[in-house]
């Protein structure tokens, strides 16, 4: 048995309470990774059979590149806000030095870190892993915007910069109790700003600059156009996503013994209420999406209805009441439909991520300001003055300010990165590869004979982004 005598040992860092938090944050992290799998299942069922393998390969690699990039300096950038709050000299550089991938706070065992300098060290180390998984989700969702046509290399560069730099900067501004916008009254809980709205903008730019898949809107003799391989697989992905959300929500706040649970912006909340609110959001989104689906004869809205409801409520799950979450979620699919129709008319081939991010996300961010108007937020425990505990108040105006800041940063950075890649290494695979299928051309793994829908000459009606077997009801891709 080794006795620790040569190094410091702080038993305050390994209490039972700390271990409970460690377990809960680890569970939240694992469920964020399940979201990556859920997105993979959704897209794996929506692409053509000849592109299923490449869809999975590119999505897994892109997601992990985004997560790995975050670990380099991203966690330090996010912690910058707390170094400012505690008055640490040169807060940005010091936060990066402490929390980058080679920094002492991420390379030292928790009980060997002085709690005066790094309180709850193990919890904050696991929270770095939580953020890693958060970035992985961003990489997976951005990949969804270029299905079946965007090359791997530019997608990996996009994932690296999104997860490693842009998301941490947006999280610094909008997600955390001492962040500049939160400290002024902007509220978020489950990443409405730094995840959904940000990804919605970059996904829009990717889909716009890459262009639609061959046959998506204009008939082409060489292809049946995009159509789903297996909607059952996609539905299972949605089910997995719904399973993961209540658990990952745990990671979006502070657990304080004898005081309760506080949302990431320092709003007073509770586990029980948050979980009930999530269920109410699922139901509201499902009802709203089902109504739209039956009216449009398009199952996409019913399948993604609960997701739309959840995204619409992501900013207010910690401050809303169940009936409020139900009502907000009920109308969230309407905003999904609005963006969906705009994209269809503009012939932009993206039917999921952009409507969720820019439709449901912006709607949810704004409505949270009315639901939580006047609720106390911001600051940090034990501090006073401009960073005092709950010194700020949520307001609709600050929610709009948050939307404006995130849209501005996302648009500028997205155009620089994505258009820059388009003009240099290019975004899109060749027409020959797209028509032959990426599994065959990249991995020498074509679908088994008889399983490629193109071989059957399955028909579709281009022009609305919807394809289906000839003579059957249409299915949205």
Indicate if the pLDDT at residue 334 is higher than 90.
Answer: yes
The domain total for the chain is 1
List phi, psi (to 5°) of 460.
-160, 170
| Cα 185 from chain centre | 22
DSSP 8-state code for residue 376: E
Q: Minimum mean pLDDT among 77-86, 108-117, 384-393: which range?
A: 108-117
Does 368 reside within a domain?
Answer: no
- Is 180 in contact with 241 (CB distance < 8 Å)? no
Indicate if the pLDDT at residue 474 is higher than 60.
Answer: no
Look-up of token digits 């999904």 = 336
pLDDT tens column, 261-284: 999 999 999 999 999 999 999 999
Q: Residue 169's domain is classified under what CATH number?
A: 1.10.3430.10
Tokens of 282: 């699922």
Indicate if the pLDDT at residue 454 is higher than 90.
Answer: no
- Sign of CA pseudo-dihedral 185, 188, 192, 198: positive
- Is 454 in contact with 213 (CB distance < 8 Å)? no
pLDDT band with cut points at 50, 70 and 90 for residue 460: very low
Tokens of 419: 């258009």
> Residue 38 sits in which domain range?
13-212+222-280+374-449
Indicate if the pLDDT at residue 231 is higher than 90.
Answer: no
Grouping H, G, I as helix, E, B as strand and the rest as coil, residue 315 is coil
Q: Which of the two residues, 459 and 126, has the higher pLDDT score?
A: 126
Q: Which of the two residues, 434 and 461, has the higher pLDDT score?
A: 434
pLDDT tens column, 301-323: 999 999 999 999 999 999 999 99
Closest C-alpha among 80, 107, 88 to residue 168: 80
Over residues 361-386, the mean pLDDT reads 96
Does 299 reside within a domain?
Answer: no
CB neighbours of 169 closer than 8 A, spacing ≥ 6?
A: 77, 409
Q: How far apart are CA 73 and CA 30, in angstroms?
A: 22
Q: Which stretches within 177-316 are classed as H helix?
A: 198-210, 231-248, 271-296, 300-313
Q: Give DSSP secondary structure letters for 162-194.
A: IIIIIHHHHHHHHSSTTSTTGGGT---SS-III
Closest C-alpha among 243, 67, 252 to residue 164: 67
pLDDT band with cut points at 50, 70 and 90 for residue 449: confident
Does 232 reside within a domain?
Answer: yes
Tokens of 129: 């892993």
Over residues 133-143, the mean pLDDT reads 98
Over residues 424-451, the mean pLDDT reads 90
- Is 288 in contact with 334 (CB distance < 8 Å)? yes
pLDDT band with cut points at 50, 70 and 90 for residue 432: very high
Is the overall model pTM greater than 0.75, yes or no?
Answer: yes
User: Residue 312 CB: number of other CB atoms within 10 A?
Assistant: 35
Indicate if the pLDDT at residue 452 is higher than 90.
Answer: no
Q: How far apart are CA 435 and CA 292, in angstroms?
A: 33
The confidence score (pLDDT) of residue 128 equals 97
Strands 268-269 and 260-263: antiparallel
Tokens of 243: 């399973």
Closest C-alpha among 206, 187, 190, 188 to residue 141: 206
Terminal Cα distance for the chain, rounded: 60
Does 330 reside within a domain?
Answer: no
Indicate if the pLDDT at residue 466 is higher than 80.
Answer: no
CB neighbours of 239 closer than 8 A, spacing ≥ 6?
A: none
The confidence score (pLDDT) of residue 225 equals 85
Inter-CA distances, 308 with 314, 343, 468, Å? 10, 17, 24
The confidence score (pLDDT) of residue 17 equals 86
pLDDT above 90 covers a percentage of the chain that reads 82
The confidence score (pLDDT) of residue 453 equals 53
The mean predicted confidence, pLDDT, of the chain is 92
The confidence score (pLDDT) of residue 475 equals 40
Say how many residues make up the chain: 477
Over residues 436-450, the mean pLDDT reads 88
Over residues 383-398, the mean pLDDT reads 96
pLDDT tens column, 7-33: 788 888 888 888 989 999 999 999 999
Does 2 reside within a domain?
Answer: no
Closest C-alpha among 100, 95, 94, 195 to residue 141: 195
CB neighbours of 311 closer than 8 A, spacing ≥ 6?
A: 192, 196, 332, 356, 357, 360, 361, 364
Does 28 reside within a domain?
Answer: yes
How deeply is 306 buried, as exposed, middle or buried, from its count of CB atoms within 10 A (0-12, 13-18, 19+)?
Answer: buried
Does 418 reside within a domain?
Answer: yes
Does 336 reside within a domain?
Answer: no
pLDDT band with cut points at 50, 70 and 90 for residue 46: very high
Over residues 135-164, the mean pLDDT reads 98
Indicate if the pLDDT at residue 180 is higher than 80.
Answer: yes
């Amino acid at each position: 048995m080794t006795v620790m005598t040569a190094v410091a040992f702080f038993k305050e860092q390994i209490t039972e309470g700390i271990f409970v938090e460690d377990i809960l944050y680890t569970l939240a992290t694992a469920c964020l990774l399940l979201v990556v799998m859920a997105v993979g299942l959704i897209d794996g069922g929506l692409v053509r059979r000849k592109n299923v393998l490449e869809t999975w390969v590119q999505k897994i690699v892109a997601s992990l590149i985004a997560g790995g990039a975050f670990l380099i300096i991203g966690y330090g950038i996010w912690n910058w806000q707390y170094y400012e709050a505690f008055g640490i000299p040169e807060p940005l550089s010091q936060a990066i030095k402490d929390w980058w991938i080679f920094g002492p706070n991420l390379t030292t065992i928790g009980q060997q870190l002085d709690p005066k300098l790094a309180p709850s060290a193990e919890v904050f180390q696991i929270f770095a892993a939580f953020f890693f998984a958060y970035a992985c989700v961003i990489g997976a969702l951005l990949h969804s915007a270029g299905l079946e046509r965007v090359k791997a290399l530019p997608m990996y560069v996009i994932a690296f910069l999104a997860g490693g730099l842009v998301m941490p900067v947006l999280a610094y501004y909008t997600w955390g109790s001492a962040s500049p916008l939160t400290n002024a009254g902007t509220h978020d809980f489950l990443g409405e700003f730094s995840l959904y709205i940000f990804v919605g903008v970059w996904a829009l730019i990717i889909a716009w600059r890459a262009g639609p898949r061959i046959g998506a809107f204009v008939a082409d003799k060489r292809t049946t156009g995009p159509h789903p391989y297996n909607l059952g697989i996609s539905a299972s992905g949605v089910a997995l996503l719904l399973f993961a959300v209540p658990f990952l929500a745990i990671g979006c706040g502070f657990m304080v013994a004898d005081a309760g649970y506080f949302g990431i912006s320092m709003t007073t909340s509770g586990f029980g209420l948050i979980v009930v609110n999530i269920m109410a959001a699922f139901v509201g989104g499902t009802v709203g999406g089902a109504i739209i689906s039956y009216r449009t004869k398009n199952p996409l809205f019913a399948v993604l209805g609960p997701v739309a409801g959840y995204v619409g409520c992501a900013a207010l799950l910690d401050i809303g009441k169940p009936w409020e979450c139900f009502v907000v979620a009920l109308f969230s699919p309407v905003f999904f439909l609005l963006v969906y129709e705009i994209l269809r008319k503009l012939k932009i081939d993206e039917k999921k991520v952009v409507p969720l991010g820019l439709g449901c996300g912006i709607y949810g961010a704004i409505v949270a300001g009315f639901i939580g108007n006047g609720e106390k937020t911001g600051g940090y425990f034990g501090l006073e003055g401009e960073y005092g505990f709950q010194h700020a108040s949520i307001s609709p105006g600050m929610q709009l300010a948050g939307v404006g800041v995130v849209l501005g940063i996302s648009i500028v950075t997205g155009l620089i990165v994505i258009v820059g890649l388009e003009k240099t290494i290019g975004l899109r695979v060749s027409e020959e590869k797209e028509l032959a299928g990426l599994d065959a051309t990249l991995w020498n793994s074509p679908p088994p004979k008889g399983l490629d829908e193109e071989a059957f000459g399955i028909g579709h009606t281009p022009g609305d982004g919807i394809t289906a077997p000839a003579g059957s009801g249409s299915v949205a891709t």
